[in-house]
Amino acid sequence: MSNEYEAIVIGGGPGGYVAAIRLGQLGVKTLCVEKEAMGGVCLNWGCIPSKALIAAANLANKVRNAQHMGITVKDLEIDVAKMQQWKEGIVDKLTSGVTSLVKGNGGDIAMGNAVITDPNTVEVTDADGKKQTYKATKGIIVATGTQMIQIPGFEPDGEVVITAREAVSLQKAPESMLLIGGGVIGLELGMVYQKLGTKITVVELLEQLLPGTDSDLVRVVQKHLKKGEPADIHLKSRAVSLDKSGGKAKVTIETEGKQQVVEVEKVLVAVGFKPNSEGLGLDKIGVKLDQHGHILVNDQFRTNVPTIFAIGDVAGPPYLAHKASKEGEIAAEVIAGHKAARDWRGMPAAIFTDPEIATVGLTETEAKAQGKKVKIGKFPFAASGRAMAVSETDGFLKVIIDESDHQLLGVAIVGPEASDLISESALAMEMCAFAEDVALTIHPHPTLGEGVMEAFKHALGEAIHIMNR
């Protein structure tokens, strides 16, 4: 393997490996440096494994509650260890596929910790402590992601106090689990184990679950948390102390000055992320960071040091794998001499709770906060024939349009397959579409996607399958 490259990518996650592949496609000689496993957190311990477990847990829950369809399964057995084997098989296929794609497009891979020693040089230390120096003549892309924030007194031990990384690999469902943090990671994994039989307690510092998400969407998810073995939800609360004596966790929860103690088998700490920007040598070469440690970049993901680029979570929120991937493509194209820059108008986001939540563009709250005069179109899944046929009628589709010219401002969906349904609206946002563009598009019947069309029609006062009020 050569020591001279045109580009070096630090990090093999969804931002880094995509950048390496795109650079290879553009004929740029590239090295990708990864310290742990190709695919990064997303493929190995995050997006993919969690979604596999969510799918398995949802299937078990559907079978358990299918009596109204004439399906009754007695003595349903869930083998979590076997579920984990299945999940690991998926992870292995994807990570090996990513490695093959990087190499197949002409890229090299070096495993180890990377430090930038000057604007064109990276030093890599492998697992045996051996150091190797590599040169990049055109640019270095930092794609090192984030790490979980830890709470003093609740440091993970991998057994009683765990992070999402351990939570996606548990070999059995615990009897009880307390989630510190009612955000995306906590609720996604908490709802998995709730469906596998775990008693869930949620402690959230703010006044609602999934902070930053419109409350009407959150209410639908919170309703589901109360089904089956209902979760105990503590809002405007914090975990103040932990006692692990006796092999379990006794957690003291404080809510508006009042305290109570909850005993659980596992504590999942999921209170957010911080950027992996330390230890890379950025300070020595003068790369500027924001107050939280994110690397500051322009619209081409170039830092204040012209040969250094940063993409993905380390360059700032929102922390989305698909955002990182797109940024990787843009940075690669800029290094290769092409014209490219970010435009996040059509950037969707998805939360894989039950039901799912997906959004693109402005939320209703954001649009009104900006002083925009808006029209809202809503279509409930309870009015969808397909939703009835699959027995998933909770939730709705919401469209936010400009009152004056009907330009699309945003879409929010809570309900079945929301993460897939949002893509049509993301395309509409990217194309600067108007409500009429989607409302006039014929959608196949019977599908959940018809609800998108109906929501746009409702914003125009033309919905067919609900009253226009």
Active-site residue numbers? 445
Q: What DSSP assignment string belongs to 133-179?
A: EEEEEEEEEE---EEEPP-TT----SSSEE-HHHHTT-SS--SEEEE
Pairing of strands 408-415, 146-148: unpaired
Q: What DSSP assignment string belongs to 195-218?
A: HTT-EEEEE-SSSSSSTTS-HHHH
Query: What CA–CA distances, in Å, run from 79 to 35, 75, 197, 277, 458?
Result: 33, 13, 12, 40, 45
Would you state the structure tokens that stand for residue 422, as one six-digit string?
Answer: 């949002």
Residue 231 backbone dihedrals phi, psi, to 5 degrees? -80, 145
Q: What DSSP assignment string belongs to 327-354?
A: HHHHHHHHHTT------GGG-EEEE-SS
- Other C-beta atoms closer than 10 Å to the C-beta of 291 total 5
Cα 277–chain centre separation: 20
Amino acid sitting at position 54? I
Closest CA to 42 of 219, 218, 273: 273
